[in-house]
Amino acid sequence: MLNQKGYEKKQKSNEFVDIYIMGKRYNVPSSLTIMKAFEYAGYTLLRGCGCRAGFCGACSTVYRIAGNHELKVGLACQTKVENDMYLTQIPFYPAHKVNYEIDKLQGDGDQVVELYPEITKCLGCNACSNVCPQDIKVMKYVSHAIRGEISKAADESFDCLLCGLCASKCPANIVQYKVGLLCRRLHGKYLAPKASHIKERINEIEEDKFDKQLDELTNASKDELANKYNNRDIEK
Amino acid sequence: MSYTSQLRELIKRVEKTREERLGHDFPRMTPEQKQDVLNNHHPDYIKDQFRKAKIGPNKGDRFPHELCDVIEGYPAVKWDEIDTSKIDYDVDVLVVGGGGAGASASLLAHEAGADVLLTTKLRFGDSNTVMAQGGIQAADKSNDSPATHYLDVIGGGHYSNVPELVRALVTDAPSVIDWLEDLGVMFDKEDDGSMKTRHGGGTSKKRMHSARDYTGAEIMRVLRDEVLCRDINVVEFSPVVELLMDKEGKAAGAVIYNFETEEYQVVKAKTVIITTGGLGRLHTQKFPTSNHYGATADGLVLAYRAGAKLAFMDTVQYHPTGASYPEQIEGFLITEKVRGLGATPINVDGEQFVYHLETRDVEASAIIRECAKGKGITTPSGMQGVWLDSPMIDKLHGEGTIEKELPAMVRQFARFGVDIKKDPILVYPTLHYQNGGILINDKCESSVENLYVAGEASGGTHGRNRLMGNSLLDILVLGRRAGKNAAAKAQSIDNKSAELNLEHAEKFVEELKKEGIKRTKTSPILIPDYTDGELS
């Protein structure tokens, strides 16, 4: 079944490619992701490895293919190896962070430009969008932010993993991913309509409305609980 | 790698039965049927995959071999290199771990006026939290109640859960959602602001709140931002390798290890909170895992050596739907939201064989049983799987639903040439969650004084099986409680003259020797070794 996959699988894989990690050549199965190829080559990853599933943005990798000048980037856990791939990882990229007290901000249009004034220097080169491993239209959400359209910027940037590759390419030194994060927080806190049913429920809990029911359940025997559980109403 | 021609042929069978399956729910199992499939097919019930712990507070209890291996490891710390009287950090509250539980504990402790240090093995925020996709439960709608939530949790956990912890979970849930909304988390909402909620496996009411299928990522990035905005001291790439105790045997700090300089540092703290997550990367029973790289049970090892009792360590959660194809994403999580939206499991003949929203242990066991019957699909890399018929979702809820509700899943598969809007997905259970952990009470206190635990590292809340959306909830409920309580306790502690020591670890080594356990392994293991290619 699932067991003993590793070695067997490696042997089954008859296609191998050459990759270069920090300049050293390794021959690895072509089916591997960059991350697994690093490990296949004997590296134990520390920086540059996180969730291994495309959610944390820790494994930003820069590469080029032999014969081609273009520097490409990707997440090591989500990109397959190619022949003659020259790899290096950039797991830490220093970026400017503005500290703010979210409670003291406002959801108005000027807020983002005030905290991150450099966004107005966007050259419109679109390097940020081209480099995004999530295919987010980064320049578009920065434009929204410049225009004070916080909710649009929040929506457009939603799938951001904060990997920082956008900022690594920006000639205007914009830290796009942090601008997106601020817009999302402002939208979530100030601009999205509030869920009134939550406050109502919190009040009911504070008024001990459910204490009796919960006392009964807490003290119930296993059989009583099973009986209640097996006969509970299930919402369609 | 898109589907091979053989798989394409098999997909036709799924398509053939799709129309007639629409609108016809497969019957739910009776309690007897559930017990039967668990007994015969759930990995927890395979006796030879467990052994009795030889040492420590749970001596004689049944643990998975892989957990015993780390529990029975020798401390990795080099004793003679550590001078515990030379203090590098002196704080009120030390938070060990940088996921959702660690971040929320830090925020609440900081709010209570404590001087907080958060130390984490990898980057701050890199954790299972960030990978949680489907949602977070809270009974905050008018047709629901904390009591109903309680019943779902305890039924899902086979009535073994610690009642006070379940009660804490369901009672704090609405205020956790309120707190997140106030911090700026973007939940999926209706136009009037009410939360969009859905079912998860085993829920009796639709109480799953989500942020598309990036729910955990959205929560984590907001919490991390908030911690950083408040200037709470965060030290990354510095795992705790041993707890420090005072002369009275109370937790009083920790030894942290700088991965890069290979130096040890001593943290003195009035209270310590462990939020290190679970054991997924121990790969119990050689299962692939949906877990974060750092999930190597470190907190359990540290706390156990210090004398903390563990609970429910003989049960592990295998998520019913891990990817079994393409090879590059084997074991990755296919969020339960996919089933919540109506995708159903289908066998090689195009037949549904289990109701799609059974609890995770039952659903996973049913999938394992179907494959054992020979009704599974063998992938090109030799894995087993069944179909999860994702195109049903758009049929049920309208074109565009998948795109809107499951962007992460669409992207995950599109990267490897599979369009989940048009074609079903191949899935097989993947090691997902540590049901057990360090036993705590509803103040998040462990059995060791001044040692608090929150999140997946803690045990008791979920009993023998956790429902979807209750982990994102518990990390925040317990994280907040741990932070608040640890900060309050710290106020009453005077540790000026406390002498920090590692005697508990030395005693543990003596006990290991007495039991005839040789020094072949050290723990905590910190980083899993994948260089041999056996698993990943």
B415-447: pLDDT as tens digits: 899 999 999 999 999 999 999 999 999 999 999
Same domain, A106 and A164: yes
B81 to B34, B45, B94: CA distances (angstroms): 54, 44, 22
Same domain, A117 and A184: yes
CATH number of the domain residue A62 falls in: 3.10.20.30
Residue A1: per-residue pLDDT: 32
- Arithmetic mean of pLDDT, B164-182: 98
Virtual torsion, Cα A112, A113, A119, A122, nearest 10 deg: 120
List pLDDT tens digits, range A37-67. 999 999 999 999 999 999 999 999 999 999 9
Spatial CB neighbours of B487, under 8 Å, sequence gap ≥ 6: B92, B93, B108, B109, B110, B112, B113, B114, B116, B271
> Whole-angstrom Cα distance, residue A64 to residue A68?
7
Residue B534: per-residue pLDDT: 61
Residue B78: per-residue pLDDT: 79
> Whole-angstrom Cα distance, residue B73 to residue B301?
9
B307 to A91, B57, B229, B270, B507: CA distances (angstroms): 37, 6, 36, 18, 11
Report the first-to-last Cα separation within chain B, whole angstroms. 19
Same domain, A74 and A109: no
Measured between CB atoms, does A52 come within 8 Å of chain B? yes
Residue B452, judged by CB atoms within 10 A of its CB (0-12, 13-18, 19+), counts as buried
Task: Considering only the beta carbons, identify the residue of A195, A222, A234 that sits closest to B189.
Answer: A195
Spatial CB neighbours of B486, under 8 Å, sequence gap ≥ 6: B93, B105, B109, B114, B271, B272, B273, B444, B452
- Checking if the pLDDT of B318 tops 60, the result is yes
Same domain, A108 and A187: yes
Spatial CB neighbours of A111, under 8 Å, sequence gap ≥ 6: A105, A148, A150, A186
The domain boundary, picked from A62, A89, A116, lies at: A89
Contacts of A7 in chain B (CB under 8 A): 532-534
> Whole-angstrom Cα distance, residue B342 to residue A74?
33
DSSP summary character for residue B366: H
The answer to whether residue A5 sits within a structural domain is no
Residue B533: per-residue pLDDT: 65
Closest-CA residue to B437 (of B407, B397, B478)? B478
Instruction: Name the amino acid, one letter, at B303.
Output: A
- Cis preceding linkage at A117, omega within 30: no
Chain-chain contact of B381 with A9 (C-beta, under 8 angstroms): yes
Catalytic residue among B224, B360, B466, B481: B360
A 60-89 residues with CB below 8 A of B?
78-80
Same domain, A85 and A139: no
Render chain A in DSSP notation, one character per residue.
Answer: --TTHHHHHHHH---EEEEEETTEEEEEETTSBHHHHHHHTTPPPBTB-SSSSSSS---EEEEEETT----EEEETTT-B--TTEEEEE------------GGG--SSTTHHHHH-GGGGG-----HHHHH-TT---HHHHHHHHHTT-HHHHHHHTTT-----HHHHH-TT---HHHHHHHHHHHIIIIISPP-HHHHHHHHHHHTTTTHHHHHHHHH--HHHHHHHHHT-----
Contact A28, A17 (CB under 8 A): yes
Scan for tokens 């018929």, then name that residue: B389
Residue A113 Cα, gap to closest chain B Cα (Å) = 18
- Checking if the pLDDT of B254 tops 60, the result is yes
- Arithmetic mean of pLDDT, B269-278: 98
Render B499-526 in DSSP notation, one character per residue.
Answer: --B-HHHHHHHHHHHHTT--SS-EE---
**Residue B311: band (very low, low, confident or very high) from pLDDT cuts 50, 70, 90:** very high
Same domain, A175 and A114: yes
Which secondary structure element, helix H or strand E, spans residue B187, and what is its range? none
Same domain, A122 and A78: no
B335 — phi, psi (to 5°)? -55, 145
Two tokens, residue B268: 């003195």
> Whole-angstrom Cα distance, residue B499 to residue B253?
10
Spatial CB neighbours of B32, under 8 Å, sequence gap ≥ 6: none
The answer to whether residue A202 sits within a structural domain is no
Roughly what angle, to the nearest 10 degrees, separates helices B100-111 and B470-491?
30
- Arithmetic mean of pLDDT, B57-67: 97
The answer to whether residue A56 sits within a structural domain is yes
Contacts of A210 in chain B (CB under 8 A): 145-147, 171
The answer to whether residue A155 sits within a structural domain is yes
Two tokens, residue A157: 């940037």
Best of A35, A202, A235, A236 to mutate (most B CBs within 10 Å, chain B): A235
Q: How many domains does chain A have?
A: 2
> Whole-angstrom Cα distance, residue B359 to residue A187?
35
Residue B439 Cα, gap to closest chain A Cα (Å) = 18
Same domain, A72 and A121: no
Q: Which of A46-55, A82-91, B60-69 has the highest mean pLDDT?
A: B60-69
> Whole-angstrom Cα distance, residue A221 to residue A134?
50
B21 to A193, B199, B342, B477: CA distances (angstroms): 38, 19, 11, 39
**Residue B6: band (very low, low, confident or very high) from pLDDT cuts 50, 70, 90:** very high
> Whole-angstrom Cα distance, residue B444 to residue B442?
5
Roughly what angle, to the nearest 10 degrees, separates helices B146-156 and B163-183?
120
Residue B426: per-residue pLDDT: 97
The answer to whether residue A28 sits within a structural domain is yes
Strand-pairing partners, residue B266, are: B255
Residue A67 Cα, gap to closest chain B Cα (Å) = 25
In this structure, the number of other CB atoms found within 10 A of the CB of residue A113 comes to: 16
Chain-chain contact of B159 with A226 (C-beta, under 8 angstroms): yes
The domain boundary, picked from A89, A123, A148, lies at: A89
> Whole-angstrom Cα distance, residue B219 to residue B125?
10
Contact B139, B205 (CB under 8 A): yes
Domain assignment of residue A30, given as a range = 14-89
The answer to whether residue A212 sits within a structural domain is no
Contacts of B218 in chain A (CB under 8 A): 158, 184
Closest-CA residue to B486 (of B532, B528, B450, B535)? B450
Which secondary structure element, helix H or strand E, spans residue B196, and what is its range? none
Two tokens, residue B7: 């798989």
The answer to whether residue A224 sits within a structural domain is no
Chain-chain contact of A197 with B286 (C-beta, under 8 angstroms): no
Virtual torsion, Cα B172, B178, B180, B186, nearest 10 deg: 140
Q: Chain A residue closest to B141 (CA)?
A: A197
> In the sheet that B458-459 helps form, which strands lie side by side, from edge to edge?
B310-311, B437-439, B458-459
Q: CA quadruple B348, B352, B357, B363: dihedral positive or negative? A: negative
Chain-chain contact of A235 with B151 (C-beta, under 8 angstroms): no
Residue A71 Cα, gap to closest chain B Cα (Å) = 20
Helix H, strand E, coil C: the string for B387-448 is EECCCHHHHHHCCCHHHHHCHHHHHHHHCCCCCCCCCCEEEEEEEEEECCEEECCCCCECCC
Same domain, A54 and A129: no
- Checking if the pLDDT of A8 tops 60, the result is no
Contacts of B208 in chain A (CB under 8 A): none
Two tokens, residue A48: 């540059």
For the ranges A4-13, A223-232, B119-128, B291-300, the lowest mean pLDDT is seen at: A4-13
Same domain, A43 and A79: yes
Residue B7 Cα, gap to closest chain A Cα (Å) = 18
Contact A46, B527 (CB under 8 A): yes
Spatial CB neighbours of A204, under 8 Å, sequence gap ≥ 6: A210
Chain-chain contact of A102 with B184 (C-beta, under 8 angstroms): yes
- Arithmetic mean of pLDDT, A144-161: 97
Residue B355: per-residue pLDDT: 97
Contact B377, B426 (CB under 8 A): yes
The answer to whether residue A83 sits within a structural domain is yes
Give percent of chain A above pLDDT 70. Answer: 94
* Residue B360 known to be catalytic: yes
A 186-215 residues with CB below 8 A of B?
186-189, 192-202, 205, 210, 213-214
pTM: 0.96
- Checking if the pLDDT of A12 tops 90, the result is no
Same domain, A63 and A115: no
Count CA atoms within 13 Å of residue A35 on its CB side.
26
Same domain, A85 and A154: no
> Whole-angstrom Cα distance, residue B397 to residue B495?
60
